[in-house]
Amino acid sequence: MASVIYAYSIKASFSLNLFGIEYQVERVNNFLEIIFKKILEEELTIEEIQEAFEMGVLTSKELVMYYFNRIAKYDQSGPKLNSILEINPDAIFIAEGLDHERKTKGARGPLHGIPVLLKDNIETKDRMHTSAGTLALENHLSTKDAFLVRKLREAGAVIIGKTNMTELANGMSTTMWAGYSSRGGQTLNPYGPGEFFVGGSSSGSAVAVAANFTVLSIGTETDASILSPAIQNSVVGIKPTVGLISRSGTVPFTYTQDTPGPLARTVTDAAILLGALTNVDSSDPATYKSEGVSYQDYTSFLDSEGLKGARIGVFRNASENYYRESDEYDEDLFNDAVQAIRRKGAEVVEGIEIPSFNREWSWGVPIYEMKHALGNYLSQLPSHLPVHSDKELIEFNKKNEENALKYGQNMLEYRQGLPDNRLTNPEYLNAKLEDLYFSQEQGIDYALKKYNLDTILFPSYIGSTICAKAGYPSIAVPAGYMENGRPFGITFAGGTFSEGTLIKLAYSFEQSTKYRKSPLLNKEVH
């Protein structure tokens, strides 16, 4: 980008109104126009932002101010997308400090000064609360940063706030609408506020990225909680191998399937964020196996010709007729995506079988593990908070029924009534073993080996459950829009720690198709 900018640079003087302040610009020129046009009307990538920082035409402080302005205009008023639950009151000070550090010591890396939002179930040791969307924890100030938050701060990222989410990561009620929490209300899809489905529990994180309220965000997934909102809101979402990113410091749903993951507008930005989050954490045994097979930089996998020669298994044999007949699926758009992959030189293998895919999966693991994991988490909270067990949480919600129980709490009540809290129940133990066997040996691993595949391609996020139970990675990327404007996407899935391969394939697809369009509200900024 730089060479193009310098080649066409000319001296210029023009006025710029930014955040209501009139600037008289008498510096380099065309580049300034490009940068501010992109930031105000389109969307900047990490690379473009860092170049603007280095040239001195943009600061991290100005970027944070810009996002606060957009949040005020479109998230908290206007269409009221309601994706932001809380703002970091120190964000501007942090950005100023990082601007100063850049001038005096240089940049730490690609995330230096870059705004990031966190899902509200990720702990931060600052002035923000961590509530997982519940009213009971709305005053919870953590005494520690989550491991991934420490990694972000070390990388120089500016954590600007917390995002709304489905309350307790959809562990509250079977009738609760996705993207709703008692503390934050309902998150809306920017491509059709009040019209289109907003996606799984990391909906606030996906919407905030899609609507350009931040550069990057972090979500968490147990099953489809990153992939679903990424698809629904036309952004890139990476659900990594369980153990690639530490879960310590996140409000848990399960021990077996939970994982944080990046959300971004491009595969490149998602890859940059992923690399900043990986490392072995002594507090999370799942990360031990990542030593030697994880990367701190996934950008080396970004290859625009990455699909050439790759073997892509296309999975169409889903029994979920409700999905094919729903308004989430578009056969033509999926076929278009497959053809685009074929045109890039991939060897497309149609008609692949995954023996266990259509089995009736047991929900014994999340049912029992949430009771145990959430109970442990609540028991360690400070004494001044109103709840320290699932029983106390249920009672608190009943006492505050008008505000806390719009959709009830039948899932919490069911778990509270389970016979023990020691994870010794035969239903749980058998489900845990069966999940691993059928999702791995008779699932993803079976198909990859039988057809000699680099990846399995799923329409939308229908492969989320089998990948979640296997603990295997997936990456969701935009793949067009339906006639009514609703986003559609595809998912590349692979075996354990195959993130690099998936990023390579997804990047090649993204670069060859350029499907993603920003929602209309982005184009209303002048």
d(CA 168, CA 151) in angstroms, rounded, equals 24
d(CA 144, CA 314) in angstroms, rounded, equals 44
d(CA 25, CA 33) in angstroms, rounded, equals 10
Tokens encoding 201: 């529990």
Cα-only R_g, the chain:
22
Contact 111, 118 (CB under 8 A): no
- Residues paired with residue 481 on neighbouring β-strands, in sequence order: 487
The residue from 201, 217, 228, 290 that is catalytic is 201
Residue 77 annotated to the active site: no
The residue from 173, 182, 205, 225 that is catalytic is 225
Q: What is the widest separation between alpha-carbon atoms in the chain?
A: 75
Sheet holding 158-163, edge to edge: 84-87, 158-163, 115-119, 216-221, 259-264, 236-239, 474-481, 487-493, 455-459, 311-314, 347-349
138-150 burial, b at 16+ Cβ within 10 Å, e below that, comes to bebebeebbbbbb
Contact 436, 430 (CB under 8 A): no
Q: What are phi and psi of 519, to 5 degrees?
A: -65, 160
d(CA 259, CA 247) in angstroms, rounded, equals 6
Residue 142 annotated to the active site: no
The residue from 60, 61, 83, 119 that is catalytic is 119
Residue 119 annotated to the active site: yes
Contact 229, 205 (CB under 8 A): yes
For residue 22, the one-letter residue type is: E
Residue 467: strand, helix, or coil? helix
The residues assigned a catalytic role are 119, 201, 225
